[in-house]
Structure 1
Amino acid sequence: MNSKPIVEQNADEDELYEHHRFEAGKGQQPLRVDKFLMNLIENATRSKIQKAADAGNIYVNDVAVKSNYKVKANDIVRMLLEHPPYEYLLTPENIPLDIVYEDDQLLVINKEPGMVVHPGHGNYSGTLVNALAYHFENLPMNSSERPGLVHRIDKDTSGLLVIAKTEHAMSFLAQQFADKTSEREYIALVWGNIEEEEGTVENYVGRHVKDRMQMAVFDNDEQGKYAVTHYKVLERLGYVTLVSCKLETGRTHQIRVHMKHIGHTLFNDERYGGDKILKGTTFTKYKQFVDNCFKVLPRQALHAKTLGFEHPTTHEFMRFDSKLPADMQECIEKWRVYSKSHTSEEE
């Protein structure tokens, strides 16, 4: 079951605005449309969806349906409301940006943890796109109508992003990401001791069948998109391991879901269960230590450290590197101290 959002949005139809559009995957089993939408729309409640259906605002294959309609394979499900989607009412906001590099074609920024990349359901202000709209005029739109964005990283992931300033830069850079010729290295702290020094995770990543806020690994392209992550151990710290992850592809939550798949969930990754003690002892002192680490690093331990690409006009290959943010550094240092003094403890 793989339901994917369709890029084209914000269509005006009889004074109604398209807020959501989803295509049910080939393996979609019959499911009530209110449950189907609740699984896909973050922060949505069933009562709100049912009200929209009662008002005639939910369409399947261009026909208004009630909330008990059963969604089937390949159905196009849309929600139309009387006001434009908030994310398209883009308000420029004077939010400081950490600009690593800038020229007339592009800029590279170091995104702080906690900043959402673009407006969406529940996050209509304070995003990177709001900041870009304030600092730059006439940024080119990507295929999802997001100004300047060539790629994105999750809200609680820190690190480097390239932003296009011209239409040529947008298409040139986007093609590199599609062709897998860009370079992206992330640093992650994961639960457990990874036995091998390096390895590759290669499979298909798509929406989780039961929890639509998660991604999951599949073994075929009907349920997910091809995804490849190369990892290498940087430092073993007892019950956790510091790793470098190089992306060959860039799927949603790719590193997070791939690391969980091989049994090494990212440290403090709440969505994938890494905010619980997954390795270690039963000692109370150990539990207190881990809780302190969670407080120091209140997010998944993931940082987009290195970004490389060919410049759109000079064709020079440019590589940018960023330091680990303070919260990750402090957490890693705590584990270094702990692992040195508790090397003999058994799980």
Structure 2
Amino acid sequence: MSEKIISNKNNLQVLFEDNHIIVVNKRAGDIVQGDKTGDTPLSDVVKAYIAEKYNKPGNVYLGVVHRLDRPTTGIIVFSKTSKALPRLNKLFADKEAKKTYWAVVKNAPPKTEDTLKHWLKKNPKNNKSYAHAKEVKDSKHAILHYKKIKTLDRYILLEVNLETGRHHQIRSQLSTIGCHIKGDLKYGFDRSNKDASIHLHARHLSFIHPVRKEPINITAPPPKDPIWDACL
């Protein structure tokens, strides 16, 4: 699928939509579901879009399938029907949805491509995950695959494929090998981006449609900025 955006009404970038699924390109700063900040979540924005587009009175059904960190951009899938939601949840839980991320990092990795295996332990006090070479108490095994796909003037573009989906997994594991993601102060980059984003983008997603059983392949264009533009 091309990087065409079907709709950007109300600044919502819809990448794919049918009767059962809606896929959007999350902006930096959007929260997928409501939290203690009280900020309007992306799920409410999508509900409002559906209500207006289809002139739906009353409450709009929308199921949250997965999440992205607030400063991260890219593909988010929502379910528009109660029939599709448990099937989508199972797809993601069983790792049958193939996710590819782009990460812009300051330092080149030790190898052009590699598999990283760590044990991640989350510290809820500072909302940060720490990578360990060996299993520690309350840690979870984390596996990702990366490869260098482009060298920019001052940065490196990595393609990352997740085998597990842990809290801050890409951010933590890449920082452990010295590849700090641009703008990610929490994980070792030396300064923040002006918009509080980090240069981590959920770029590709492929899965089998839970109802129609057809392959779905989606690509999300990264945000418009000089560094992301240089990646394309």
TM-score if structure 2 supplies the norm length?
Answer: 0.83
- 8 Å CA contact retained: 2:25, 2:75: yes
Matched, 1:313 2:202: no
Counterpart mapping for 1:109-188 below 5 A: 109-122=24-37, 124-136=38-50, 137-139=59-61, 147-188=62-103
- How many angstroms apart in 1 are the aligned matches of 2:135 and 2:92? 22
Match of 1:331 in 2: 227
- How many angstroms apart in 1 are the aligned matches of 2:111 and 2:174? 13
- 8 Å CA contact retained: 2:63, 2:82: no
Q: Secondary structure at the match of 1:271?
A: helix
Match of 2:220 in 1: 322
Cα distance, 1:265 vs. partner? 1.2
Cα distance, 1:207 vs. partner? 0.8
Q: 1:319–1:221: structure 2 CA closer, same or farther, 3 Å change rule?
A: farther
Match of 1:8 in 2: none
Q: Secondary structure at the match of 2:172?
A: helix
What percentage of residue pairs aligned between the two structures are identical? 29
Q: Which amino acid aligns with 1:180?
A: K
- 1:234-258 deviations in Å (ceiling 9; x for gaps): 1123653110011122222111011
Match of 1:268 in 2: 183
Counterpart mapping for 1:66-145 below 5 A: 96-122=11-37, 124-136=38-50, 137-139=59-61
Match of 2:171 in 1: 256
Choose from 216, 225, 243 the match for 2:130.
216
TM-score if structure 1 supplies the norm length?
Answer: 0.57
Cα distance, 1:187 vs. partner? 0.6
Highest CA radius of gyration, 1 or 2? 1
Cα distance, 1:275 vs. partner? 3.3
- 1:71-123 deviations in Å (ceiling 9; x for gaps): xxxxxxxxxxxxxxxxxxxxxxx95421111111111111111211111112x
Q: 1:324–1:228: structure 2 CA closer, same or farther, 3 Å change rule?
A: same
Cα distance, 1:221 vs. partner? 6.8
- How many angstroms apart in 2 are the aligned matches of 1:103 and 1:191? 39
Q: 1:121–1:275: structure 2 CA closer, same or farther, 3 Å change rule?
A: farther
Gaps of 5+ in 2: 1-8, 51-58
Q: 1:224–1:102: structure 2 CA closer, same or farther, 3 Å change rule?
A: same
- 8 Å CA contact retained: 1:183, 1:309: yes
* Bigger proportion of residues as helix: 1
Aligned residues: 214
Cα distance, 1:333 vs. partner? 6.1
Cα distance, 1:212 vs. partner? 2.9
- 1:2-21 deviations in Å (ceiling 9; x for gaps): xxxxxxxxxxxxxxxxxxxx
Cα distance, 1:307 vs. partner? 1.0
- 8 Å CA contact retained: 1:234, 1:242: yes
Q: Which has the higher contact order (CA 8 A, sep 6+)?
A: 2
Matched, 1:227 2:123: no
Match of 1:301 in 2: 199
Q: Secondary structure at the match of 1:176?
A: helix
- 8 Å CA contact retained: 1:192, 1:238: no
Q: 1:165–1:273: structure 2 CA closer, same or farther, 3 Å change rule?
A: same
Q: 1:177–1:107: structure 2 CA closer, same or farther, 3 Å change rule?
A: same
- 8 Å CA contact retained: 2:29, 2:196: no
- How many angstroms apart in 1 are the aligned matches of 2:151 and 2:10? 38
Counterpart mapping for 1:267-286 below 5 A: 267-276=182-191
- 1:232-286 deviations in Å (ceiling 9; x for gaps): 101123653110011122222111011011111111102212134xxxxxxxxxx
Cα distance, 1:138 vs. partner? 3.9
- How many angstroms apart in 2 are the aligned matches of 1:301 and 1:216? 20
- How many angstroms apart in 2 are the aligned matches of 1:170 and 1:222? 33
